[in-house]
Structures are given as structure tokens and as C-alpha cells.
Amino acid sequence: MALFGKKKPGETPDNDTPSSANDAAPDASKAHPWFERARTVHEASNYEYAVTCWLQGLRYDPTSVDALESCFKSAGAFLVGQKKLGPSKDQRGSFGGRTPIERFLGAVLESCTNPLDAKLTVRAMAAATKIDQPEAAHWLGERAVALAQRDKKPKKEIFVKIVDVARKVGAFDLATKAGEIAVQIDPSDSALEDKVRHLSAEAAIARGGFEDAWKEGGFRKRIRNSDKQRMLDEESSIVRSEDTAARVIDNARKDYDSRPEDPNSVVAYVRALRARGSEEDENTAIDVLMLAFDTTMQFRFREEAGQLRIRKARRALRLLEKKVEAGDDAAKEALMTLESRYLRSSLVSTNCG
């Protein structure tokens, strides 16, 4: 039995199927009906068509990691009880163009319909970088590491490939993890060992204070419609309006409470908390991030929690330094202790949990 069949006549949102694999331009407003249709048909147990809808939506908005993850879930649900893995000829034809976005969709299709194949997942990860989607690459990379570790004989070359791709998108902790596994497989590779050591240092630097490098260079989101832009504008006004801050945080918290397992709701809630930036806000953000890490095993959440802890430590350092400059002898010992802790947390890869 082929995994995916042809689409049913008329069963497309607003008849908005691209006439060819390369016709569609990125447009989040066009992606939305596809994603809504995907959720509807998934809930109706039509997992086969749900995958098609997720991929059609990703063609218009490849920034949606939530849709990417849901695509894999729909494929996994459909595969239950199936004897044959992989997409059908028709499905490959629908997502088999030569443009970077089509190559990405094709790679995702192959990966989600062969869910235990680490090599195919790494291929999809690499394809995500070709369309400048580092967040998708990171999600796929985490999945690839987990799959590759399950092999009876883990292959060094797969982990090395993950290292190279993860480094390109600034996911240094993921690159370090994959590299360490590769070194365990081949301890004689001194060059790889040196590379992993440098990656570990880069990961520590990223956690130790260059917060914008992670958000902008690693996992930036593109705002492609006016509604999202207005929301972003309101969130940025937090620094000017306490009332707006409270409203944005309350809305983000309600959304998070309704779907705490959704990475997008976690990111939005933490972003709102960090923007206001009170001590209580930061502590809440750390708790939310660590819970998200424990639930999803996405290392970006643990890293961001580490960033917040480092930021709090830097702030405490500055306060103690001012006290020491003012002649407070009691603050000197506290400053030395805190400086030692801060140095260790900045330069040594620690478990933030």
C-alpha cells in the first residue's frame, strides 16, 4: 500500500493549491488555511492527507516549527500498522521540485515517512539551512541525534554531519553534543576532538552573555503579515508601558497555560517575561524554560534558561562592584565568590537543570 494517495477533488483550502511545485511564494497568510485544514483532518484521523496539508502550508511558511513537528506526528500516526514506509510516487511529485524550498519539503517528506532513518533527517536538517531556517534545522538536528544514537552501531559520519550543520546555524550545544558522541565512536580522531573542544567554548560564550547572537543568528523568526507585526510592535512597547507589559504577559501566559507543550507558546511567554525583565519575571521564565526542556528535550530551552541565570549573575556582580568601590569591605568576599561562580558557569558546560 502506498503511503500517500492523491488529493481528493475539492479537498483543498480555498482551492489554493499551487499549480506547480515552484509557483508558491512565501506567504504566511496562505499557509494558515493549510495548517488549519491539517489540524482538522488529523483530528478526523485522516493522517495521510494531514501530512500533505502540513507540507503545503510549510511551502508558504517554512518558519513554522510547530507545523513541522505536527507533520511528523501526522505521518507517525498514519504509519501505525502500515507495512511500507516512504511516500508514494504522486507524493514525491508534489514535493519534488528543484528550488531550495521544494528540496526542503521533499527532504521533510522523506524523513517523516521514514521516521527512524537518521540519515534522511540529517538531509532535511541540511535542506533547512539552504532556505535560511535555522530553527527548523535545530529541531531536525535534535531528532537526528536521538535517532542516530538508537542505531545498534552508531555511525560517526552522521554525527559529524550534524556537527557541521548545527554549527552553521549557531546551535553550538547541539553541535557539541553530536561531536562528543562522534569522538566516543572514534577516540583516535584528534582533529575532531579539537573541533569539539572549540565548539564547547563557543557554546559557553553563547550562554555567557551574547544573548542576541542566539536569537538573531540562530533562531530568528520572520514576521510576514501585518497582524504578527502589530503584535510584535505591542510587545516591543513593553519598555514604555507597564500596562501594555502586563497585558502582553497575561495574554502570553493564558496561551501558554492552554498549550504548555507547544514550543511556540513557550517562546512567546518567555519573550514577554524577558522584555519586562523583573526578578520575578526572570525566575518564572527560567522555570518555564526548564519545564519545556524536560518535556520536549529541545536544548535551546535549557540554553536560554542558562542565559537568564548568567544575566542575573552579571547584574549581581555589577551591584557588588559598586559596593566595593564605595568602600564596603564586606562586599569584597562576596564579590570574589560570585566572580568565581560566574567564571565557571561561563566557561564550563554545565547542566542547567
pLDDT tens track for 221-278: 433 444 454 555 545 443 445 666 777 788 888 988 998 888 888 888 888 888 777 8
**Among the ranges given (176-185, 256-265, 283-292, 341-350), the one the predictor scored with the smallest mean pLDDT:** 341-350
Q: Which of 47-61, 179-193, 204-218, 233-247 has the lowest mean pLDDT?
A: 204-218
| Overall pTM > 0.85 | no
CB count in 10 Å sphere of residue 305: 24
Task: Spell out the domain ranges in the chain.
Answer: 1-115, 226-347
Of the chain, the percentage scoring pLDDT greater than 90 comes to: 26
| pLDDT, tens digit, 9 for 90 and up, residues 124-175 | 999 999 998 888 999 999 999 999 998 888 899 999 999 999 988 888 888 9
Q: How confident is the model at residue 338 (pLDDT cuts 50, 70, 90)?
A: low
Q: Which residues contact 172 (CB under 8 A, 6 or more apart)?
A: 166, 199, 200, 202, 203, 206
Q: What is the reported pLDDT for 351? A: 42
Task: Give, as one character, the DSSP assignment of residue 86.
Answer: S
- Segment 204-231 mean pLDDT: 45
Q: Which three cell numbers stand for residue 315?
A: 547584574
Please name the residues in contact with 175: beta carbons below 8 A apart, sequence gap of 6 or more: 162, 163, 164, 166, 167, 199, 203
User: What are the C-alpha distances in Å from 140 to residues 110, 127, 134, 317?
Assistant: 13, 10, 10, 38
Share of the chain above pLDDT 70, in %: 72
Q: What is the per-residue pLDDT across 13-24, written as a single tens digit (0 to 9) for each?
A: 544 444 333 444
- 343-351: long-range contacts, CB 8 A cutoff, minimum separation 24: 345/207, 345/208, 345/306, 345/309, 345/310, 345/313, 346/204, 346/205, 346/207, 346/208, 346/209, 346/310, 347/201, 347/204, 347/208, 348/204, 349/173, 349/176, 349/200, 349/203, 349/204, 350/306
